[in-house]
Structure 1
Amino acid sequence: MSSSPSGCPFGVQATIQNGCLVSPSGGTVPFGQIDFGSHPSLSSATYTTSLVSNTSYTLNCTPNMTISMSLDGGQHYGSGRRVQLSSGVTLPYSLYSDAAFQNPILVNQGMNFTITGTGNNITLPVYGRIVLPGNAPAGTYTDMVAVTLTW
């Protein structure tokens, strides 16, 4: 006796979800830089800038999705974020989520934003402001802020 195929079907499906791709992964390459520039030690002016992405690092996400970003206090936190000179002298600075400097980014507080455009090579919406005291010792002041993205 021979048997014939029964013709029973089976289902096939794929679910595609919103998401992001961070490259390289693992946090070994800095995402970018907030650079307030070079100024005289006697300056008491306010300087502003925005995050400039590192070209060795990319963040790509599904367009029109919302992601949450939180920033820690940085390596030299003390009553606010601070840049530090190698001698230990610090200067306070602030981070904002808008170019008008109206929405401060609080330490470890999630901030939602929507991915616009193609979703490729996203620059995080981070803007910095520093007010120099007019008597800062000369040198390069630095800090490193950790970014956490969730989606």
Structure 2
Amino acid sequence: MPVIVRMVVLTLAGATAGGWCATSATAETSKSFQVSAVIANGCSVTTTSSGTGTWGNIALGTVSGITTGTVQASLLSGSSAGIQIDCTPGMTANLTADTGNNAISGVRQLANGTARIPYLLYANGSSTAWTTQAVALSFPVGTSHMSVPVVAKATLSSPSTAGAYSDTVRVTLSW
């Protein structure tokens, strides 16, 4: 019986369309990529507690119903006085307040049922009452935090009905 030997010869030479190559390969060992960021203008306000939406409280205290004169107190937000604002350095912002829930003819009023006591707010050390005009805030380069003091003054001119008086003022920070 004859023996049949078949021989297959495989030759590797140069790069072929199939990808095998008998020559040495080189690979890039370094590349570069870019990293960038955009800093956008923005602000945040520290509030008294998470989720309440309040920027603090002004408590004018307890006075006798026959007291006359002016009582005043400052806004406290947690353990800090004033509204605590942080904004991007180099920008400006505006702080506005509405006339509150109990205003009569544009004058803020503390209310106890139908009994009312008018009061004024003063912001950022101004001696002019803060009505609905904007308080301009500037954050120069290198500065990002500001405390804006707010003071309430109520003038008691006649005997007042006993009870708890209150109002809610909405303050808006815009930039």
Output the TM-score relative to the length of structure 2: 0.67
The residue that corresponds to 2:101 in the other structure is: 75
1:16 is matched with which residue: 39, 58, 76? 39
Q: Which structure is larger by alpha-carbon Rg, 1 or 2?
A: 2
The residue that corresponds to 2:152 in the other structure is: 128
Amino acid aligned to 2:65: S
**What is the CA–CA distance in structure 1 between the aligned matches of 2:111 and 2:51, rounded to whole Å?**
22
Aligned CA distance change for structure 1 residues 29 and 76 (closer, same or farther; 3 Å): same
**What is the CA–CA distance in structure 2 between the aligned matches of 1:93 and 1:142, rounded to whole Å?**
11
2:71 is matched with which residue: 24, 47, 51? 47
- 1:60 maps to 2:83: no
Aligned-partner SS, 1:136:
coil
**What is the CA–CA distance in structure 1 between the aligned matches of 2:100 and 2:72, rounded to whole Å?**
18
How far has the Cα of 1:82 moved from its partner?
0.5
How far has the Cα of 1:58 moved from its partner?
6.4
**What is the CA–CA distance in structure 2 between the aligned matches of 1:4 and 1:33, rounded to whole Å?**
67
- 1:112 maps to 2:139: no
Matched residues, percent identical? 32
- C-alpha contact (below 8 Å) 1:33/1:53 kept by paired residues: yes
1:97 is matched with which residue: 123, 130, 138? 123
Larger relative contact order (CA 8 Å, sep ≥ 6)? 1
Unaligned runs of 5+ in 1: none
Amino acid aligned to 1:68: N
Aligned CA distance change for structure 1 residues 68 and 102 (closer, same or farther; 3 Å): same
Aligned-partner SS, 1:37:
coil
- 1:145 maps to 2:169: yes
Aligned-partner SS, 1:149:
strand
1:84 is matched with which residue: 108, 111, 114? 111
Unaligned runs of 5+ in 2: 1-14, 16-24
Output the TM-score relative to the length of structure 1: 0.76
Aligned-partner SS, 2:110:
strand
How far has the Cα of 1:114 moved from its partner?
2.9
Query: Aligned Cα RMSD in Å?
Result: 3.2
